[in-house]
Amino acid sequence: AVESARGRIVFDFSGDACKGFALQYRQVTVLESSESGTRTSDLRNTTFESGDGRSFRFRTQSDLNGKAAAPVDGNAERDDKGLDITLKQPKRGEVAVAGEVLFPAAHMRRLIEAARAGQPTMAVKVFDGSDDGRKVYDTLAVIGPQRAAASGPAASDPAKPETPKPETPKPSAPAVEAPLREGAMAGMPHWPVTVSYTPVRAHARGRKPVCSILPEKK
């Protein structure tokens, strides 16, 4: 049995609609067990998505206790009819998926549009090149009401001292994370979002998401 776990995630996302979007992701996890000892996994993933959301390149490398697994390397193209995936490693192959499938940056843009339009949920298929590079995920996003972080107290005028006012009780609100209270992001509207990912080919009855994330969309 696992007795303790620790790790670190580094996430570097950059780009724009003209040049495209690049992602570098690394996750190191250390699991401790008195029975099996220490297991250290190191996952590294790089992707590039074109600005128009039509093409996608991906490469994943992973190590377990210093032993490298075969990399996953490929690219994907999407159009109005569906998605075509071409794998180079670990084994050459092709996968075709009918219907609309979004890449990660296009998915993020669609989420922001849905939040601004006041939609409470959004469901769409997504391909991100993860796992074996063949999986497409059904995603379901639950979008909370818009929030606005406090931009901080206004500077007071020493020539006009303020008269103390009695405090008015305020309804409790979810805590706003520090990055949304500071710098250029302070005061910007944002939405709490929970997104679940379920493999499309999972059995229809009783299937469960492989993961859920809770980002704040701005």
Of 37-41, 73-77, 140-144, 161-165, the poorest mean pLDDT is in 161-165
Could you tell me the end-to-end alpha-carbon distance of the chain, in angstroms, rounded to an integer? 40
What per-residue confidence (pLDDT) applies to 124? 96
Please name the residue that has the structure tokens 């600005």: 51
Contact partners, residue 176, CB within 8 Å, separation at least 6: 147, 149, 150
- Is residue 130 a contact partner of residue 137, using CB atoms and an 8 Å limit? no
Comparison of pLDDT for 207 and 87, the residue scoring more: 87
Residues 6+ apart with CB under 8 A from 113: none
Q: How far apart are CA 197 and CA 42, in angstroms?
A: 22
Q: Is 23 helix (H, G, I), strand (E, B) or coil?
A: strand
What's the pLDDT score for residue 185? 74
pLDDT tens column, 179-192: 677 777 777 788 98
Judge whether residue 171 has pLDDT over 60: no
Q: What is the largest CA-CA distance in the chain?
A: 75
Which of the two residues, 187 and 217, has the higher pLDDT score?
187
pLDDT in the model for residue 147:
80
Residue 51 confidence (pLDDT) above 70: yes
Is this structure's pTM higher than 0.95?
no
Closest by CA position to 101, among listed 76, 118, 121, 120: 76
pLDDT band at residue 149, thresholds of 50, 70 and 90? low
